[in-house]
Every structure is written in structure tokens, then in C-alpha cells.
Chains A and B, each alone.
Chain A
Amino acid sequence: MGFLFAVITGVPLGLLIGYSRLFERVFSPVIEMARPICPIAWLPVAIILFGLASFGSSIWGNASYRYDVFDQMKYAMVFIIWWGAFFPIVINTVDGVRGVKKLFIDAAKVLGLDEKGIFFRVIFPASLPSVMTGLRVGMGIAWMVIVAAEFFPGTTSGLGYMITTSHQVAEYEYAFASILAIGVTGLAINKLMMLLSVRVGKWEALER
């Protein structure tokens, strides 16, 4: 969920920063300063801000059968995942836009495209492979952040929770099992993202 928000906010912002000098001047310093802040550092603040409210509790209330599932989507969690995934997505998108060959922009101009057309029909598709790289990196970070956030008190489920609990009850085989599961899931997520990016970026790999 947080990742989705990161995509929705990160890709358009990245496109605009790469495209317009004004956006670059305004947002670049903010992003450069905010980027090194570890998402976990926000956890206490996020909990103060959002409490333990979740999509489950605020949309359906705790009576619904959907509550059990959606209560795991704490706003605080969503926020820090967004924080983790947002920056790699923005930065790769900006890079992608800057890397668009001038030749393609010229070609679109002589075919009669206006500025808007060039933005949506040339700059966006031409930077997609780079955007996909950003999504992959962002997804990896999001996954790390989820697990790390689950170490903190207040969670009642998740692999991170399982690790801290196994430490408390001194049954470390569960910790190792969780670590293994984290790795395997991360691998699966990455594979999935790779498949997706190969689909959109096929032309880029073959053009080299």
C-alpha cells in the first residue's frame, strides 16, 4: 500500500523534476535532504501522528470481517514504507528523463507534437526502463522497512514480530526460519519486478 503511494507520487514528481528546471530547483534540495533519513527513524513520529489507526479500523471499523486483514495496514507503516520507496523511485525517474535522447524529442517535434504530446508520448515511454529500475530498488527497500518496522513493540504479527518473539522465548529456530522466509520472499518480489521491467524495457536492452 505504501509502495503504491510511493509509485503514485514518485513517478510523476520524478518526471516533472527531470523535465522542468523550476521543479528541479524547488524539489531537489528538499529531496536531497530528506533522502538520507532512515525510514525507521520516522517510526516513533509516525506512530504519534497516526497512532495505531489502520485502513481496517478507519474504513470498516473493528466489527467487519475485513478488519483482521486491513488492520495490518497501519497508517504509520504505510507512511514509512512510502518514505523508503519514494526516493529511489524519484531519483531513477529523474535520471530516466534526463537520459532521453534529444534525437527522439527532435523527431517528435518535426512530426508535429506539442510540448504536452512530447512529454506523454516521448519522454514518459523513453524513461520507463529507468522508472522500472527505481520501482525495483524501491520495492526492495520497502520490504526491508516492513520487516524492520515489525521489530518494534505494538505489532502483533509479521516476520519481524516473529523474530523478536523467538528471541524473547529463546527459540531461535523460529528466528532463522523467519530470516530465510524474508530472503525467499524478497527474491520472489525481485523476480516478479524483473519480469515486469523486462516487458517494458525490452527495447532498451536490445538497443544497446
Chain B
Amino acid sequence: MMLRAQKLHKFFSSNGEREVHALAEVNLECPEGDFLCLLGPTGCGKTTFLRIAAGLEKPSSGTITVKGLPPEKAIEHIGFVFQQNALFPWLNVIDNVMFGLSARNIPKDVARARARECLALVRLKGIENAYPYELSGEVQQRAAIARALAPRPDLLLLDEPFGALDEKTRKQLQDELLSLHLKNEFTVVFVTHNIEEAVYLGQRVAILDTSPGRIASEMPVELSHPRDRMSQEFVNHLLAAREQFEKVVG
């Protein structure tokens, strides 16, 4: 099992007094090679779940394991793509992509070659020496994906990575992410609030309820890739997901 969460709870206390119950009793399993979409309205705790899975937050109770290890110990197996541009602005693109490799003591020339490979995977060429602020949002996010892929993670966590992009670019990046996933067989947990995106990408869609965040329902999407957004089956799945989603939102 790649990712397993059992009875996960997370409370946030603001000013030490009022507690917010962000996650309640979350049970989730994610086998190897899975593409799981976490779908939920804003503030349902889906980002919190992802941050816990990456070891950035500690759960208040319950357990979570990545490849059987607590996330802090499994960090070398995890790649993370943030919602906002999280490239280091003082480094150029290639140094950003190499950042995670040097932390793993990979020799510089090997790291550089692999960083170039990863940039090619996300269709970026000739911008190695550019700085993040010189790039468009799309190119920044592509570079961020390359940076997350460079250490060859087994589990890729993405937090609404395409939220800030326009429709056309988003669809393009969705397809590219899918083909990377199918080719390299890493497991993906993809957080989004966009129903169509979740149904288009996921092998499974888990819908999160809001305050407290809990898994309201899980739905498999048994359609082969590439999926046709116009096909009857796809629309059926989409409608089913929407129905579930609206139940949650109320």
C-alpha cells in the first residue's frame, strides 16, 4: 500500500482557544499506481490532508503511512506540487529542479543531467537559466512539476496545481500529467475543487465533506485513458460525481 490513513483527525487551534476540526475520522487507502482525486469544496481540509501526507503537518490523532513509514521518514518517496508558485526566486530554473537532488547527495553532473531530463518531460527547454519571475504562471507550474519529479518519487502529491491556469492550458497540463503518470507508474494524489478535473483524471474520486472534513463517498472511475469529455460514459460519471458533491455542499 502506497498511502494509508487510519482514523485521521486534525484540530487547529486559533489563539489557543477555539478549535477547528479540520479532518474527522479520515480513512483512506491508496494502492501503488493509483490516481486518486480528492474532491471537495473550499475549506474541507483536503489541503490539510495532503500536508499531513507530506509530513508538513502532524495529525492530531490517527495514523498515516507512506509505504509503511511515517511521512517524515518517507520524504524521499514523496513529491509535492504546491498551489502557488513555490519555486525559489533566488535560484534559476535548473537550480530549482536540482534542489531536491543535491539534498539527496546526488553528484552535481548527474543531478544536472536528470534535471534537464525532467524539464524535457514537462516540455520545457532553453529556459534553464531563467529566473522564476521571468516566467509565466504556466511555465512556473511546469517547472514546479519537474522539480517534484526530479528525485523520482513514488508518490506525487498535487495541491490544486492547475487552479490558477486558464482553461486551455489546464487541459493541456492535465493530459501531460496523465501521460507521465501512465508512463512512469508513480502514484498520484490530486487535490481539486473542480469536479470535471477530478473525473477526467482520477481512477478514483474521493469526495470530502466540509467542517469537519471527512470522506463522504468514494467513487471509482472505470474509464480508460485518454478519456473523451464528450462521451456518454464520461458524462454519466460526471453527473454521478456532481450529485454526490452537491449532497455534500448542501
Query: Could you tell me which A residues sit within 8 Å of B by CB distance?
Result: 103-104, 106-114, 117, 121-122, 125-126, 128, 202-204, 206-207
Asked if A110 contacts B90 (CB within 8 A), the reply is: no
The smallest C-beta distance from A124 to any residue of chain B, in angstroms, reads 10
Contacts of B82 in A (CB 8 A): 103, 106-107
Residue-wise interface mask of B (68-86) relative to A, using a CB-CB cutoff of 8 A (1 in contact, 0 not): 0000000110111010101
Asked if B99 contacts A125 (CB within 8 A), the reply is: no
Interface residues of B in 56-114 (CB under 8 A from A): 56, 75-76, 78-80, 82, 84, 86-91, 99-100, 103-104
Asked if B103 contacts A111 (CB within 8 A), the reply is: yes
Asked if B84 contacts A104 (CB within 8 A), the reply is: no
Interface residues of B in 90-142 (CB under 8 A from A): 90-91, 99-100, 103-104, 131-134
For the complex, what is the distance from the CA of A95 to the CA of B77, rounded to whole Å? 35
- Which residue of B has the minimal Cβ distance to A110? B80
- Which residue of B has the minimal Cβ distance to A121? B99
For the complex, what is the distance from the CA of A117 to the CA of B132, rounded to whole Å? 21
The smallest C-beta distance from A112 to any residue of chain B, in angstroms, reads 4
- Which residue of A has the minimal Cβ distance to B72? A109
Q: Does B45 contact A (CB under 8 A)?
A: no
Given contacts A108-B103, A110-B78, 10 further A-B contacts (CB under 8 A): A103-B82, A106-B51, A106-B86, A107-B87, A108-B99, A109-B75, A110-B80, A111-B103, A111-B151, A202-B131
Interface residues of B in 127-176 (CB under 8 A from A): 131-134, 147-148, 151
Q: Does B54 contact A (CB under 8 A)?
A: yes
Asked if A107 contacts B103 (CB within 8 A), the reply is: no
Q: Does B213 contact A (CB under 8 A)?
A: no
Asked if B75 contacts A110 (CB within 8 A), the reply is: yes
For the complex, what is the distance from the CA of A204 to the CA of B89, rounded to whole Å? 8
Asked if B89 contacts A111 (CB within 8 A), the reply is: no
The smallest C-beta distance from B91 to any residue of chain A, in angstroms, reads 8
- Which residue of B has the minimal Cβ distance to A114? B103
Q: Which of A110, A128, A203, A206 contacts B79 (CB 8 A)?
A: A110
- Residue picked from A107, A125, A128, A202, most chain B C-beta under 10 Å: A107
Query: Could you tell me which B residues sit within 8 Å of A by CB distance?
Result: 51, 54-56, 75-76, 78-80, 82, 84, 86-91, 99-100, 103-104, 131-134, 147-148, 151
Asked if B55 contacts A109 (CB within 8 A), the reply is: yes
For the complex, what is the distance from the CA of A113 to the CA of B134, rounded to whole Å? 26
Asked if B99 contacts A111 (CB within 8 A), the reply is: yes
Contacts of A121 in B (CB 8 A): 99
Contacts of B86 in A (CB 8 A): 103-104, 106-107
Contacts of A104 in B (CB 8 A): 86, 88
Asked if B56 contacts A110 (CB within 8 A), the reply is: yes
Contacts of B99 in A (CB 8 A): 108, 111, 121
The smallest C-beta distance from A128 to any residue of chain B, in angstroms, reads 7
The smallest C-beta distance from B20 to any residue of chain A, in angstroms, reads 18
- Which residue of B has the minimal Cβ distance to A201? B90
- Which residue of A has the minimal Cβ distance to B134? A206
- Known A117-B103, A203-B133; contact A107-B88, beta-carbon cutoff 8 A: yes
Q: Which of A112, A126, A128, A207 contacts B103 (CB 8 A)?
A: A112
Asked if B90 contacts A111 (CB within 8 A), the reply is: no
The smallest C-beta distance from B78 to any residue of chain A, in angstroms, reads 6
Asked if A207 contacts B54 (CB within 8 A), the reply is: no
Contacts of B90 in A (CB 8 A): 125-126, 128, 203
Asked if A106 contacts B104 (CB within 8 A), the reply is: no
The smallest C-beta distance from B204 to any residue of chain A, in angstroms, reads 23
Contacts of B89 in A (CB 8 A): 203-204, 207
The smallest C-beta distance from B195 to any residue of chain A, in angstroms, reads 27
Asked if A106 contacts B56 (CB within 8 A), the reply is: yes
The smallest C-beta distance from A147 to any residue of chain B, in angstroms, reads 36
Asked if A112 contacts B100 (CB within 8 A), the reply is: yes
Q: Which of B54, B78, B133, B151 contacts A206 (CB 8 A)?
A: B133
- Residue picked from B75, B84, B90, most chain A C-beta under 10 Å: B90
The smallest C-beta distance from B88 to any residue of chain A, in angstroms, reads 6
Asked if A207 contacts B133 (CB within 8 A), the reply is: yes
For the complex, what is the distance from the CA of A106 to the CA of B51, rounded to whole Å? 9
